[in-house]
Amino acid sequence: MQSLVFLCARRLLGHRPGARRALPFLPSELYPVLFQAAFVDGRALALQDLVTSWPFPVLSFQCLLGRCGHPRHRAHRAPHSPDKLCVQAVLAAVVAHVRRELEESQQTPSDRQCHLRVLDMTGLQDDDTTATATARGPEGMSLWSGTVALAKACLEVAKHQREVQKRNSKRRRTPSGSSSPPHAVGVEIRADLFVNGTSSGVLRDALQATGSPLRLRCRDFHAEELSVTGIVALLECLDPGGVRRVDLRFNNLGLAGLCAVVPQLSRFPDLLSLKLPYSNVDVRRHAAGADAGFRRLATHLGKLRALRELNLGSSRLSGKLRQLLRNLEAPLESLELAFCYLLPGDLAFLSQSIHAPALKKLDLSGHHFTESLLQPLCSLLENSSCLLHLDLMECQLTDSRLEALLPSLCRCSRLRCLGLFGNPLSTPGLKTLLRQTSVLPDLCLVVYPYPVDCYSRETPRAPAPSAGPLEDALDEERFTAVSAELCRMLVSSGRDNAMWTASLCRQGTLDYFALGELQPNPQPNPQH
Look at residue 28 in the predicted model and tell me its pLDDT.
95
Long-range contacts of 454-461 (CB under 8 A, 24+ apart): 454/427, 454/478, 454/479, 454/482
**Strand partners of residue 118:** 58, 188
| 119: CB partners within 8 A, 6+ apart | 59, 90, 94, 187, 188, 189, 190
d(CA 355, CA 330): 8
Look at residue 167 in the predicted model and tell me its pLDDT.
87
Cis peptide before 82 (omega within 30 of 0): yes
C-alpha torsion angle, residues 425, 386, 492, 506 (rounded to 10): -60
d(CA 192, CA 131): 15
Query: What secondary structure does DSSP assign to 339-382, as a single string?
Result: T----HHHHHHHHHSSSGGG-SEEE-TT----HHHHHHHHHHHH
Nearest to 412 by CA among 432, 390, 429: 390
Helices (H) and strands (E) in the chain, counts: 18, 13
d(CA 17, CA 46): 10
Helix (H) or strand (E) holding 219: strand 214-224
Q: What angle do helix axes 200-207 and 143-172 make, rounded to 10 degrees?
A: 40
Using alpha carbons, list the distances in angstroms from residue 324 to 207, 277, 332, 414.
Answer: 32, 15, 13, 28
d(CA 47, CA 86): 7
Look at residue 504 in the predicted model and tell me its pLDDT.
85
Compute the half-sphere exposure of residue 444: CA atoms within 13 Å on the CB side of its CA: 12
Look at residue 210 in the predicted model and tell me its pLDDT.
83
Look at residue 433 in the predicted model and tell me its pLDDT.
98
Q: Is the dihedral of CA 309, 310, 313, 316 positive or negative?
A: negative
Residue 285 class from Cβ within 10 Å (0-12 exposed, 13-18 middle, 19+ buried)? exposed
Using alpha carbons, list the distances in angstroms from residue 79 to 3, 39, 71, 182.
Answer: 17, 10, 8, 43
Q: What structural domains does the chain harbor?
A: 4-165 (no CATH), 240-386 (3.80.10.10), 388-395+405-511+518-528 (no CATH)
d(CA 165, CA 152): 20
Residue 6 class from Cβ within 10 Å (0-12 exposed, 13-18 middle, 19+ buried)? middle
Query: What secondary structure does DSSP assign to 251-315, as a single string?
Result: ---HHHHHHHHGGGGGG-TT--EEE-TT---BTT---TTHHHHHHHHHHHHHT-TT--EEE-TT-
Compute the half-sphere exposure of residue 335: CA atoms within 13 Å on the CB side of its CA: 23
**Strand partners of residue 247:** 222, 275
Residue-level pLDDT, tens digit, the chain, 528 residues: 789 999 999 999 999 999 999 999 999 999 999 999 999 999 999 999 999 999 999 999 999 988 443 333 333 333 444 789 999 999 999 999 999 999 887 555 544 578 999 999 998 875 554 434 444 555 788 999 999 999 999 999 999 999 998 888 876 665 555 545 555 679 999 999 999 999 999 999 999 998 889 999 999 999 999 999 999 999 999 999 999 999 999 999 999 999 999 999 999 999 999 999 999 999 988 677 788 999 999 999 999 999 999 999 999 999 999 999 999 999 999 999 999 999 999 999 999 999 999 999 999 999 999 999 999 999 999 999 999 999 999 999 999 999 999 999 999 999 999 999 999 999 999 999 999 999 999 999 999 999 999 998 654 455 554 444 444 589 999 999 999 999 999 999 999 999 999 998 755 556 888 886 655 444 444 444
Using alpha carbons, list the distances in angstroms from residue 41 to 3, 67, 85, 90.
Answer: 15, 18, 11, 14
∠ CA 318-319-324, rounded to 5°: 100
Look at residue 108 in the predicted model and tell me its pLDDT.
53
Residue 455 class from Cβ within 10 Å (0-12 exposed, 13-18 middle, 19+ buried)? buried
d(CA 384, CA 163): 60
The pTM (predicted TM-score) of the whole model is: 0.89
- Phi first, then psi: what are they for 263, rounded to 5°? -60, -25
User: CB of 91 within 8 A of CB of 153?
Assistant: yes
